[in-house]
Amino acid sequence: MRDSGRWRIHVKGTVQGVGFRPFVYRSAMEAGLSGHVCNTGEGVAIEIEGTADTRDRFLDRLQHDLPPLARIQELAAEEIAPVGTSGFAIRASRSDGPTDAQISPDVAPCEDCLRELADPGDRRHRYPFINCTNCGPRYTIVEALPYDRPKTTMKAFEMCPACALEYADPLDRRFHAQPDACAECGPRLTFVRSRDREIMGSSNLIEEARAALCGGEIVAIKGIGGFHLACDATNDAAVSELRRRKRRDEKPFAIMVADLEATRKLCHCSEEEVRLLSSPERPIVLLRRREGSRIAPSVAPGNRNLGVMLPSSPLHHLLLHELRSPVTGHRSRVLVMTSGNITDEPIAFTNEDALERLSGIAHAFLLHDREIRTRVDDSVARVMGGRPAVLRRARGFVPAPVRLSFEMPPILAAGADLKGAICLTRGRNAYLSQYLGDLEHALAHRAFEDAAEHLQELLGIRPEIIAHDLHPDYFSTRYAHSLSTLHSPLFAAVQHHHAHVASCMAENDLPNEKVIGIALDGTGFGPDGTVWGGEILLADYSGYERAAHFRSVPMPGGDAAAREPWRMAVAYLEAGGTRQEARIPLLSQIDPERIRTVREMIAKGINCPRTSSCGRLFDAVAALIELRTVNAFEGQAAMELEQIANENEEGRYRFTLDAGSIRNIDFSPMIADILEDVGRDVPATVIAARFHNTLVEALVGSCASILSDARYTMRDARVCLSGGCFQNALLTGRLKKQLEAEGFAVYTHSLVPPNDGGIALGQAVVAAHRHRT
């Protein structure tokens, strides 16, 4: 052949278990190229031989015409000597050499599979475990690498001849689809009544589950990453009963809705929200609910938003479609789908565990025999400023790496204790683990340790540096130090808000140059012994200095103050010298005796750590306007304050910014203004908006002041926003807009949570720079 040549191409990224080799095979065959393709420990190796033209076209297609789940991170092609063979082959995996292959996250059913699911002529018609190379479970079923069926929980099922044929055919959509199965050979459902735990022999178990749900019962359903507790979301009695049994008072339940059409009837959704809802990751998306929808009030009491997800597995599709309400006869198509646990425990993910722990909650269980190796919660996201923001990173997102602009040594970062998550690094990839829950209970500790170990094994990362929070009493900190017995790694203790800012820098690919980092959250250990949380840092990856912070106030009762916002209201009133008695009927819901005690605690400094926390400021304001004096769940007061705020209100309150060496932002004048407004019966919706506007103005003013400070030299005015308070769309949106109007370049989180679920990434990059030689 004229100008014939041969290339060896190495591809790294998510290229295994996603139909990449069949795609290469088809592309090569169509182009008339000869050669072969195989999986390696690091990705995929390809050799092609043909004319320069066809090779160029092939390479172009390889980069721009990928299967939906494939992601190329690196591609290297080298010229080698032609060998003159004909034909193209898919060769067996090579598992020698280093391991850097990536596992795909779990993926919701693709359009092709859904069509087959609904097609009476298809051999997988109504089969609840249908999947292909473009969709299905991945991370949750993998036991070890390389990603082959014997190393997944599908090893228990032997393929029938029909499935085996598809699996072996390079032109089939199920070529090497490891979880491939059918009703003949694959996983099966069982339905269990908890009364007697007897397995029902009915031929259509989904019908049984549906009947139970429509009859107002609670059914535990095994999903992709664990169990859900489900009930009819339009049946208030059923939802209230679920709340009582799950011991969850007010925290909103997520709902699962059959399709977009049904979702639009319940909630307002923008184009961006539609994209997020129907993305392969299928997160729970926070949407503004429509007035007068059929959703039972107890699903999300007093909440303007609803957490909505579309079906994330074929089983969910079958369940949701054709669901009918027994009351109206109308298709109901909406289920509460909340995590299968009691309050804050980890979700159940094995059949035995579910039958044990959930038997006091569920009337019945819809189980199956495909084991879940790795427990993964539902992800939670919302659209902020037209961009998706992942608030809980779990199913669908993990273990896709966050790609960094620089090389990292192998690091394990242990994260923080609220919204636990670890981060492992190799090369330019940072693997942020799934959300591992709040590390308060022994059960959560065990789940955390198991997840951390499994992820290290799976990725083959042996950390040389262990990073953790400064907080000595965090479980995650103790876990980090327990790893010293294994080998002798280096340690790096990273300040909480520095980690927040570094995490935002890393997600946005920023170089190691100083930025202004605004870190606003509930609580983080400060090196001066106070509790930080309203911080403006001048930071890069190597270090930080505290440039400004909210004036610190006493936090009466420590952690109790986070549960009882009224305590912070009293603290702010005392700090501003405002006599509470003069302001009736402030805090009328609280026993005056308790208020007196708290004032005494403050006066005498008993159990009153000082805090600059922004979260506690939100608490104080929510309590002052009697919106919320006691939190039923973490962050409730702040969430409600955002939700009620009148978006058309432009007014604001006073504050002072004193420009010492560390700037102090004092909101006492604002508290006095709020009291005036309350006295004049200004609506809470207006006060809430003015509060947000004041925060924004104070922060923008501080950034401008820092920028003009001769002591600092910053190449350009970059501002990073991080911390749990930036789950607040109103605050994030207004602050970003104002800062940009002042000429700042503003960076926010998108795929990494702004809350403590993203902090491990920041710890890792800081640790890498600190130990850089």
Binding site for Fe ion (CB under 5 A): 521, 524, 756
Which of Fe ion, Zn ion, none sits in contact with 756, Cβ below 5 to 8 A by type? Fe ion
Q: Is residue 113 within the footprint of Zn ion (CB under 5 A)?
A: yes
Please select the residue that binds Zn ion; options are 15, 46, 48, 163, rule is CB under 5 A: 163
- Return the residues of window 267-296 that contact Zn ion according to CB under 5 A: none
Which of Zn ion, Fe ion, none sits in contact with 686, Cβ below 5 to 8 A by type? none
C-beta of 325: minimal distance to Zn ion in Å?
31
* Binding range to Zn ion, per CB under 5 A, among 131-139, 360-368, 609-617, 716-724: 131-139
For residue 735, what is the enclosing H or E element? helix 729-741
Which has the closest alpha carbon to 231: 332, 118, 159, 112?
332
Q: Is residue 132 within the footprint of Zn ion (CB under 5 A)?
A: yes
For residue 673, what is the enclosing H or E element? helix 668-679
Q: From CA 24, how far away is CA 58, in angstroms rounded?
A: 9
* Binding range to Zn ion, per CB under 5 A, among 108-116, 225-233, 608-616, 762-770: 108-116
Q: Of the two residues 110 and 336, which places its CB atom closer to Zn ion in the complex?
A: 110
Please select the residue that binds Zn ion; options are 34, 54, 134, 477, rule is CB under 5 A: 134
Q: Is residue 178 within the footprint of Zn ion (CB under 5 A)?
A: no
Which of Fe ion, Zn ion, none sits in contact with 521, Cβ below 5 to 8 A by type? Fe ion
C-beta of 154: minimal distance to Fe ion in Å?
39
Q: Of the two residues 507 and 756, which places its CB atom closer to Fe ion in the complex?
A: 756
Q: Is residue 110 within the footprint of Zn ion (CB under 5 A)?
A: yes
C-beta of 472: minimal distance to Zn ion in Å?
48
Q: Is residue 114 within the footprint of Zn ion (CB under 5 A)?
A: no
Q: From CA 721, how far away is CA 498, in angstroms rounded?
A: 12
Which of Zn ion, Fe ion, none sits in contact with 554, Cβ below 5 to 8 A by type? none
Which of Zn ion, Fe ion, none sits in contact with 640, Cβ below 5 to 8 A by type? none
Place of tokens 């309203």: 534
Are 69 and 107 spatial neighbours (Cβ–Cβ below 8 Å)? yes
Residue 28's Cα: distance from chain center in Å?
Answer: 38
Q: From CA 96, how far away is CA 114, in angstroms rounded?
A: 37
Are 112 and 35 spatial neighbours (Cβ–Cβ below 8 Å)? no
Please select the residue that binds Zn ion; options are 60, 79, 169, 184, rule is CB under 5 A: 184
Which of Zn ion, Fe ion, none sits in contact with 545, Cβ below 5 to 8 A by type? none
Which of Fe ion, Zn ion, none sits in contact with 489, Cβ below 5 to 8 A by type? none
Q: Of the two residues 166 and 521, which places its CB atom closer to Fe ion in the complex?
A: 521
CA distance between the termini of the chain: 52
Which of Fe ion, Zn ion, none sits in contact with 110, Cβ below 5 to 8 A by type? Zn ion
* Binding range to Zn ion, per CB under 5 A, among 103-111, 337-345, 592-600, 728-736: 103-111
C-beta of 305: minimal distance to Zn ion in Å?
31
Radius of gyration (Cα) for the chain, nearest Å?
28
* Binding range to Zn ion, per CB under 5 A, among 158-166, 273-281, 456-464, 733-741: 158-166
Q: Of the two residues 114 and 714, which places its CB atom closer to Zn ion in the complex?
A: 114
Which residues neighbour 647 within 8 Å (Cβ) at sequence distance 6 or greater? 689, 730
C-beta of 726: minimal distance to Fe ion in Å?
10
* Three-class secondary structure of residue 22 per DSSP: helix
Place of tokens 């600059």: 612
Q: Of the two residues 324 and 563, which places its CB atom closer to Fe ion in the complex?
A: 563
- Return the residues of window 657-716 that contact Zn ion according to CB under 5 A: none
Are 182 and 160 spatial neighbours (Cβ–Cβ below 8 Å)? yes
> Position 590: which residue type?
I
Q: What is the per-residue DSSP string for 91-123?
A: PPPP--S-----PPPPBPPPHHHHHHHH-TTST
C-beta of 723: minimal distance to Fe ion in Å?
5
* Binding range to Zn ion, per CB under 5 A, among 14-22, 180-188, 250-258, 729-737: 180-188
The length of the chain in residues reads 773
Backbone angles phi, psi at 606, to 5 degrees: -90, 125
C-beta of 317: minimal distance to Fe ion in Å?
37
Q: From CA 512, how far away is CA 221, in angstroms rounded?
A: 47
Residue 110's Cα: distance from chain center in Å?
Answer: 22
Q: Residues in contact with Zn ion, total (CB under 5 A)?
A: 10
Place of tokens 């011991």: 247
C-beta of 379: minimal distance to Fe ion in Å?
19
Please select the residue that binds Zn ion; options are 103, 182, 299, 306, rule is CB under 5 A: 182
C-beta of 184: minimal distance to Zn ion in Å?
4
For 57, counting Cβ atoms within 10 Å of its Cβ (0-12 exposed, 13-18 middle, 19+ buried), the class is middle
Which has the closest alpha carbon to 149: 173, 175, 114?
175
Which of Zn ion, Fe ion, none sits in contact with 134, Cβ below 5 to 8 A by type? Zn ion
Which has the closest alpha carbon to 28: 7, 3, 2?
7
Helices (H), 230-325: 236-246, 260-266, 271-277, 314-320
Which of Fe ion, Zn ion, none sits in contact with 132, Cβ below 5 to 8 A by type? Zn ion
* Three-class secondary structure of residue 372 per DSSP: coil
C-beta of 625: minimal distance to Zn ion in Å?
51
C-beta of 615: minimal distance to Fe ion in Å?
9
Are 93 and 146 spatial neighbours (Cβ–Cβ below 8 Å)? yes
C-beta of 507: minimal distance to Fe ion in Å?
15
Q: What is the per-residue DSSP string for 473-542?
A: T-HHHHHHHHGGGTS--EEEEE-HHHHHHHHHHHHTT--SS-EEEEEEEEEEE-TTSSEEEEEEEEE-SS
Q: Is residue 738 within the footprint of Zn ion (CB under 5 A)?
A: no
- Residue nearest Fe ion by beta-carbon distance: 521
Q: Is residue 627 within the footprint of Zn ion (CB under 5 A)?
A: no
C-beta of 116: minimal distance to Zn ion in Å?
8
| Site of interaction with Zn ion (CB under 5 A) | 110, 113, 132, 134-135, 160, 163, 182, 184-185
